[in-house]
A and B are shown apart, each in its own frame.
Chain A
Amino acid sequence: MGKIFDNRAWFLVLPMALLVAFNALIPLMTVVNYSVQDVFDATHRIFVGADWYREILRSDRLQSALLRQFVFSGLVLLIEIPLGVAIALVMPRKSGWATSLTLVLMALPLLIPWNVIGTIWVIFLRPDIGLLGHFIDHTLGIRFDYPTVPLEAWVSVMLMEVWHWTPLVALLAYAGLRAIPDAYYQAARIDGASAWAVFRYIQLPKMRGVLTIAILLRFVFSFLIYTEPFVLTGGGPGDSTTFLSIYLVKIAVGEFDVGRAGAFSIIYFLIVLAFSYVFYQVLQRVGTGEKA
């Protein structure tokens, strides 16, 4: 596409670049600064080099938090992507009041403040006052106490996460489905294609672009998750639902251990950066390849 080469375009991006630099670069340099020093108070600090990095990388708590985080994000993708696609397939394809209503209802969870999401599920899951908690505990007769049983805490956090974000996947997949011209379906009908064939050879290839965005957005958002599980379980019982962000805030704000938190931050940031790079590359390819 014939974009003009013109360095004066920098004037157009300059306000944006300055604002983001103000917000991102200065704090990030502070973190780097902390990560190589041992700070005692405002005037006493010594340079410790890579000591914090060595210590944090060997820490069992970090390693288990990292493992937990990858398992969580993996499960999120395995459940939400197929479920979201399935929901998009049953959504009405023509515009009308039913479609509008479905879209508004489905987008609703995405617009609720994240701590309120946690609160909703606390209320919903409590065995004494919550509908689901009461149902499991009293009607099904299975003792349910998610704040003290690690497995139940995990199931609860997963359930909340799937409830919260599957609509995003469904909306993205739906946007992809809507972009398929009617002629494709007509052709499939002439061929006598089965519903599976239509899905496999028409709908799925046409959703490739939006599904790539969905998978990567879901991965990143679930990797950064903090508020919802913090409200629901507080990272417990024990450390069983302490994901990376929860652990980091515990060290940085709770224990005010800025050196260790700084080194942790840099490692965390580098992991996300690596994935962002893959994200960017994949997206570039999808952006050019899909137009054919």
Chain B
Amino acid sequence: MKLLQHFREGTGGRLRRILLEAPWSSYDLLSALIVSGIGLYLWLNAEMFQHIGGVYQQMADVATERQWGILFMGCGGFALIITLWCVAPQFLWRLSARMATAFCLLVLAGNNLLNFPPPLSTVTYLLLALWSVWGILRTHESGR
């Protein structure tokens, strides 16, 4: 009982503050850079899906590396502009920017999860994707 109270006042409280009150711009910036970077990488490596043994087969079935690259660069670039805009953009712009990055990260996480066993990067993509969805749910009319 005392241990639970200690946790609630200590690490638990800190975690709650991070999840509910901490500014999200740093995560927005990071996720936008990651998505843009992956987009650029895919755009430059037009045969990447073939070289990495079948891990990205689900994505390859839908579109080519270049097409995915353009989509990821578009989503990441859009999110980057919204995050770095000098004044807070309107709610719907901020929401759609977060939705765009979450979509890209969820595609990567879903693609990895369809492999058995899933590659190591699944953990990273899954956590980033879940945090992005949480970011969508935490977008407010007031504040960034």
Q: Do A and B come from one complex?
A: no
Residues of A within 8 A of B (CB): none
